[in-house]
Structure 1
């Protein structure tokens, strides 16, 4: 079932955590920030919405480096119920798609809960003070890829954040598969 993200809570402060990454290192969320901001993306390996745009996510993450925006992705899905999202499969997914940013495993789902992540993909765009300025979609793609000339919503918003410290007031929510939460103990 598809889920959509809530409206951007401008100024909400990013939350830090240190998590293991697919490259064998541990990263803090904050150390992934660039001098002008940070995108924190909740994704996973199996979601058709993510699969449709993963190459565009990698492209935008790479292009945002030129604007001083860092990028980090997290998988928070329950791998017991969704084995395709296991840490081992995250490593394969990151390698297959040429990730140039840390792909972190939020195994206990604590960071997804603190961020109030809703779906995959779910993008949080922060300015250099790590204040939320964007909570919207990558582009017009859903389960199908948008045309090549589609507006790059996340990229354009984060370039604006890099230049001004503020994001656009009008944002279109991201849509994707719901986070696969673990059963409460």
Structure 2
């Protein structure tokens, strides 16, 4: 019997989540691809997110300091005006939708999030931020479906929406068999909303 069990851990990341109506727009645009490429491993719509920092496997004891740090980060940043646009892929294996709008603000938010994570003493792999929303992954023997599905999204342009909350997310909390599932550990409202024009676009600075 092990008298000193390893601490419980979970995979953690910090993300933004598009609102339901923006996701519904993209889901409608994806219907031909979902029907045409059933062999892809499609992410559930409720799991769609825009990752700002992937922190990897953390012990549960690392979460409380993150809560305090990220709450302050959200309060100090305004909401961002973003939209889902187009599609692409990484290495013909991962299908994504692109992000358009206040990308400068998005990069500034991501940089602040990563600074706050480091201030909590959490080391993580630094990856260049390439804003996207992951939709599906191919299986090992399929190298054509993802590029073809990405081409089908080339003309997609969703409506502009505002980020509401900064999300601290854990995957497969309470581990078990089956596909990866995500849930919010906690989420915090941003400090201020962004005014939008009647056509839904963000105003020019």
TM exceeds 0.5? no
What's the TM-score once normalised by structure 2's chain length?
A: 0.24
